[in-house]
Homo-oligomer: A and B are copies of this chain.
Amino acid sequence: MEPLIRVGEADFDVGVEVQRVLAMADTIGGVVNFVGVMRSNNDGRAVEAMHLEHYPGMTEKALAAIAQQASERWSLEAITVIHRVGLFKPGDQIVLVVTAASHRGEAFQACEFIMDFLKTRAPFWKKEITAQGEFWVDARSSDDSAADRWQST
């Protein structure tokens, strides 16, 4: 099982990615997807656009390492991680994580695990463009807590 990792400006189609995964194995019973989307509003601030910067090279390595951890922890048939970079408008898709397994519980846990680690470990940075100027987004402590809970289980 070789995870598919993709980082770039191109958008994605969740339906196409689900079909790609289903074509890989006929032992799949459930596919879980997470799609992260740009909100028009962040903590009450209207956001017109967003720029997403990354660390080319390290990004792909970090995502592959997170996918590898997930595949060691759960019995998975497929993993896809697509993270876009560049300029976004509200409603645009930013990130897609697909996990497929024989049993749905494993797919759900693995998908949430990958998102929690991606949020706290992968070198991406968001800058919001608002009527009041441009602001780097602060990291959320709730994301750290989300990632931390996997340590104790």
Instruction: State the main secondary structure of chain A at its contact with B.
Output: mixed
Q: In the bound complex, how far is the Cα of B27 from the Cα of A43, in angstroms? A: 11
Among listed A10-18, A49-57, A64-72, A131-139, interface-contacting one: A10-18
How would residues 11 to 51 of chain A score, 1 for a CB under 8 Å from any chain B CB and 0 otherwise?
00111101000110011111111111101110000000000
In whole Å, how far is A17's beta carbon from the nearest beta carbon of chain B? Answer: 8
Known A105-B146, A111-B108; contact A31-B41, beta-carbon cutoff 8 A: no
Q: Assign chain A's interface to a size class.
A: 35 or more
In whole Å, how far is A142's beta carbon from the nearest beta carbon of chain B? Answer: 8
Residue A81 lies at the interface, judged by CB distance under 8 Å to chain B = no
In whole Å, how far is A6's beta carbon from the nearest beta carbon of chain B? Answer: 16
Known A15-B13, A18-B14; contact A39-B33, beta-carbon cutoff 8 A: no
Residue A102 lies at the interface, judged by CB distance under 8 Å to chain B = yes
Known A14-B14, A102-B39, A105-B146; contact A32-B30, beta-carbon cutoff 8 A: no
Known A14-B15, A18-B14; contact A32-B32, beta-carbon cutoff 8 A: yes
